[in-house]
Structure formats: structure tokens, C-alpha cells
Amino acid sequence: MSQYPELKNRVAVITGAGRQAGLGEAMAKRLAAEGCKVIITDIGSAQGDHLPESAIGSTNEMQTIVDEIKALGGEATSFVCNVLSADDVKAAAQFAVDTYGRLDIWVNNAGIGYLMKPILEMAVDEWDSVLNVNLRGTFLGIKFAAEKMVELGVAGKIINIGSQASKSAFSHASAYTTSKHGMNGLTRVAAQELGQHNINVNQICPNHVTTGLGAWQNSHFSEVTGKGKEKYMQEMRERIPLGRPGSQEDTANACAFLCSDQASYITGECMNVSGGEEYH
């Protein structure tokens, strides 16, 4: 049963949603369950050293997610989009309108969370890749989604996917933390500027979620801290008041709420979804 019936037939674009078991997939399926028509976007194929096949949503995975949504009675399609390309992002917004006649929701989910090194070891091109995908990509999504929403006269919802790193600093994550802190400011400025057009702009800040990327982070930080995976995960659970890491569904539920009419007076928020771990 739909929790937010007003979302039926609204059109949602979700970037970086082509990886199975990822946050993007979970949000796409949650919005589709509410009756949204969902467009799954991702880069589709590996591009260079910093966007390897293991870290991107392939065209095959994108189609699998679309097929699974349809099998559950939802409406979905896919579109290959590199969020570093202004032309691609603009085309994704136009594709939504050409395909479904409108654009109501845009979720900036695409990001790099796997280039994690100490500052002294991080290459400049690695830093640039993280900042460009996580921050430039979000800027382009806001810009071109909002342009289309204003053109159509839609009271739209733009959701940016931040992180606990949007609020707190983490060793070995200088570029990632910087990009997610920057997203806070971008979210708030966009909310101020776009409020006159009845467009809400908010950000979701999950703590650790064991997606495919999250599993890599578990292994990576277990190793670099020398704690071993079992101890690392136990310490994580102990510092979270609710006693567990986040799930994909936690973020997806927050996304659905912020897209609903119940959140129509909420904008410029960077909302923690962290089981009480993050209070800022």
C-alpha cells in the first residue's frame, strides 16, 4: 500500500542508480512502489582509472533494475548519463519530459566513495575525480533539473545524497569529506534560490550503509586501522545508539518522505539518517 498516494504518476530521475544493492536502486524501488515513474540513470560503462567497472552501474545492471521494478508493477526506464557531462545531465532531464511528460523529482545520488587515501598519498587527479563527480555532478543535477521544473511550472523536489561525512571529518577521506561538506552549502543555497519557484531542495546524510560500496569500505578501513573486520564492525555498532549500521531502506524511506507533500515546508535541510550517531 502506498504511504504517499500523492506521489502516484510523478516522475523521478535518480542518478547513480544502476548498481544492484545500492542506495540508488533502493530509492528507485521505493519511489516506484509509491507510484512514481522512475528513470534509472548511471554511467553505463567504465571510463578511465577512476570509474572502473567494479564501481559503476552497467547498462545490464540498469536494465535488470528496470525489469525488477516492472515485475513488481511499477513503471521505470533507464538512461545512460555521465554526471560530469552537462550535456548528459541536461539530456536526462529532457528525456524524463519526452518519455513521461513531466519532471517532478530529481535525486543526486551518483558519487565516488572508494578513492580513500591519506592526504600525503592521494594523487591530485584522484582528488579531482571525487570532487568532480560528487560536487560538480550534484551542481549539474540541480541546475538542469530546476531549469526544467521552472519551465514546466512544477513544484519539484530535489534530493541530494550526502553522508555522515557531510557533517564530520574522517581520516583517509579528505576528498570525500570535502565534497560532502560542500554539498551542504550547495543544498542550502539552492533551497534559498529555488524556493520562489516552489522547488524544495534537501539533503539526506546517511551513516555507514553496507551496500556494495559499503562492503568495500568495511574491508578497506578494517585493514587501514589494523582492527580486523569483526572488531571494526563491532565498534561501529557500539557507537550507534540504535545499535546497527544503516540500511538502504532507511535512506529510501527518508527520500520518499522528502519527496512527498508532507515535506512541502521542509527545504534546505541536511537530514541525518544515522541511528543517532550524527547530531550535527
Distance of alpha carbon 17 from alpha carbon 20, whole angstroms:
8
Taking Cα atoms as reference points, which of 90, 186, 79 lies closest to residue 131?
186
- The three-class DSSP label of residue 40 is strand
Active-site residue, selected from the candidate residues 180, 227, 231, 232? 180
Active-site residue, selected from the candidate residues 8, 176, 227, 229? 176
Look up residue 10 and give its three cell numbers: 510523478
With contact defined as beta carbons under 8 Å apart, do 48 and 70 qualify? no
Distance of alpha carbon 69 from alpha carbon 40, whole angstroms:
10
**Residue 176 bears catalytic tag:** yes
**Residue 180 bears catalytic tag:** yes
DSSP 215-258: HHHHHHHHHHHTS-HHHHHHHHHHHSTTSS-B-HHHHHHHHHHH
Catalytic positions, please? 176, 180
